Amino acid sequence: MKAYLGIGTNIGDRMKNLHDSIDALNLLPMTSVTDVSNIYETDPVGYDNQDDFLNVVVEVETELNADNLLGAALGIESGLGRIRTIKNGPRIIDIDLLLYGDETKNTKSLILPHPRMMERNFVLKPLLDLDFKCSLLSREKAEDLLTEDGVRFFCSKDKLSISK
């Protein structure tokens, strides 16, 4: 199954945090990172008194079901040192399951597609790097994202190696 995960970080060595999280996703059983977006620097959302984020979206092929993939992502966050203290506050790493194939789901632990994905340009812009024809976006919305403030190109995806 093809799935997309959003990854963000604003504490410590942000590039290393992204790299470590992608490496950890690649170590999951029956899962391979198949592509990664360019890296964007973004203003914080919801809690302004913090540093800017680096954000990417990764595409994975996985045989894990959506719940297990989310659980693994939360385990990676914990393993990399994420501590949840302030809602929308600073974090060493944040991994969100955005899309899992065409699956829709609404349970206590998982909503698919991600419920706030369409409101977050720091998710949509890197997602468009991977799939410009994303069926969830209108052409007009996609074009608006190309000039949106608060989401700035940081560097090419070539700075993050994908290895299995």
Cβ contact 6:95 at 8 Å? yes
Active site residue 67: no
- d(CA 105, CA 159) in angstroms, rounded, equals 34
Cβ contact 39:56 at 8 Å? yes
**Catalytic residue chosen out of the listed positions 20, 91, 120, 129:** 91
Paired residues of 155 in beta bridges: 39
**Catalytic residue chosen out of the listed positions 35, 43, 84, 94:** 94
Residue 155 CB contacts under 8 Å (≥ 6 apart), including other chains: 38, 39
- d(CA 136, CA 124) in angstroms, rounded, equals 10
**Catalytic residue chosen out of the listed positions 20, 43, 48, 96:** 96
Residue with tokens 């070539």: 158
Active site residue 14: no
**Catalytic residue chosen out of the listed positions 14, 20, 82, 129:** 82
For 6-22, letters b (16+ CB in 10 Å) and e give bbbbbbeebeebbebbb
First to last CA, the chain: 18
Length of the chain: 164
Q: Report the catalytic residues.
A: 82, 91, 94, 96
